[in-house]
Amino acid sequence: MMENPYEPWLATVEDIREEVGGQRPIKTFKLKFKDKKITDNFSYIPGQCAMVSLLGMGECFFAISSSPTKKGFIEVSVMKLGKVTTALHELEPGDTVGVRGPYGNNFDVSGWKGKNLIFIGGGIGQAPLRSLIQYVVDKRKDYGKIDIIYGARTSKDISYKEEFAELEKRKDVNVHLSIDVKEDGWDKFVGFVPDNLLKVKPSPKNSIAITCGPPIMIKFVIQNLEKLGFSEDQIFTTLEMRMKCGIGKCGRCNIGNLYVCKDGPVFSYKELKNIYGER
């Protein structure tokens, strides 16, 4: 019998960490496959995604937000927004979910060796970037300068607070956090992420910029990157779409003739400019 790409593998929820509370809470789930053979064979590269399903509720497509250098588990960050994500937020450690993957294309981790990397993230958009950040930090010698620019609405909305604190302590990584509105006790940049980017002013020489966040933020970040001298094939982003199958068959996530689940979600700005379609 042919292998069935629609059938998920069962995984246990090992740990749940609340990143952000409030109206749109974000939780990070640490998942471990029940079958050890699958854990050993599940190999992915940062940027790829997985379909996580709660049996009886449905499936959602999430970026795998942990790096493959951390073996034995995968992590996904989930924002509570619709039917399935609300049900996922009710889970407890020990519960079972289904996982399918890895799907999509990946960041070019081998082609970017030796280059300076600038990560620009906003809100929950940090999730796919975190996988790549963990990867390059674990393989620090292979890459050049690392700048991480991340912003959220308020200091309570910052995801991965402990990890950012650890990264800020490191001397070989530059972290530039920001929040949208002034707050007591916040001594770092106040303003939108695209403006923070202009303040940091990274050099386009031998650099790759990767951005992910709300569509409006991506639009202005790309504008500012071009102002700073970055060319189209130095700018990468990850896109999201409503997805059902995750393997390029159900037809819904297409932008032009490319499917975001199969040919994406990582796209270079050069690719995006050249395809016709709504995004």
Asked whether position 4 contacts other proteins by CB under 8 A, the answer is yes
The binding track of 181-220 with respect to other proteins, each residue x by CB under 8 A or -, is ----------------------------------x-----
Binding to other proteins by residue 23, rule CB under 8 A? no
- Binding other proteins (rule: CB under 8 A), the pick from 240, 265, 266, 272 is 240
Task: Cis check for the bond before 265: say yes or no (omega within 30 of 0).
Answer: yes
Across 11-24, b (16+ Cβ under 10 Å) vs e yields: bebeebeebbeeee
37 binds other proteins (CB under 8 A): no
How many residues sit close enough to other proteins to count as binding (CB under 8 A)? 48
The full DSSP string for 148-173 is: EEEEESSGGG-SSHHHHHHHHH-SS-
Q: Work out whether 226 is an interface residue with other proteins (CB under 8 A).
A: no
Q: Choose the binding region for other proteins from 154-162, 178-186, 194-202, 270-278 (rule: CB under 8 A).
A: 270-278
Helix (H, G, I), strand (E, B) or coil at 85: helix
Contact 83, 23 (CB under 8 A): no
Out of 17, 36, 83, 188, which residue is the one contacting other proteins (CB under 8 A)? 83
CA distance 34 to 15: 14
Residue placing its CB nearer to other proteins in the complex, 109 or 261: 261
Find the part of the chain contacting other proteins (CB under 8 A) among 156-164, 190-198, 230-238, 255-263. Answer: 255-263
In this chain, which of 43, 56, 171, 205 binds other proteins, going by CB under 8 A? 56
Nearest CB to other proteins, comparing residues 81 and 165 = 81
Report residue 190 as tokens: 């106040």
Q: Does 38 bind other proteins (CB under 8 A)?
A: no
Q: Which stretch binds other proteins (CB under 8 A): 1-9, 36-44, 127-135, 164-172?
A: 1-9
CB of 61 to other proteins, least distance (A): 11
Spatial distance between the Cα atoms of 202 and 117, rounded to a whole number of angstroms: 10
H runs (alpha helix) in the chain: 36-41, 83-89, 126-138, 161-169, 193-200, 215-227, 269-274
Q: Where are the beta strands (DSSP E) in the chain?
A: 9-20, 26-33, 49-54, 58-63, 74-79, 96-103, 116-122, 146-152, 174-179, 189-190, 207-212, 235-238, 254-255, 258-259, 266-268
Asked if residue 8 has a cis previous peptide bond (ω within 30° of 0), the answer is no
Residue range at the interface with other proteins (CB under 8 A); choices 14-22, 174-182, 189-197, 246-254: 246-254
Strand, coil or helix: 240: coil
Closest contact distance (angstroms) between CB of 212 and other proteins is 15
The least distance separating other proteins from the CB of residue 244, rounded to whole angstroms, comes to 5
Which three-class secondary structure state does DSSP give residue 97?
A: strand
Instruction: Catalog residues that contact other proteins under the rule CB under 8 A.
Output: 1-8, 10, 53-59, 81-83, 85, 91-92, 95-98, 215, 240-242, 244-245, 247-257, 262, 276-279
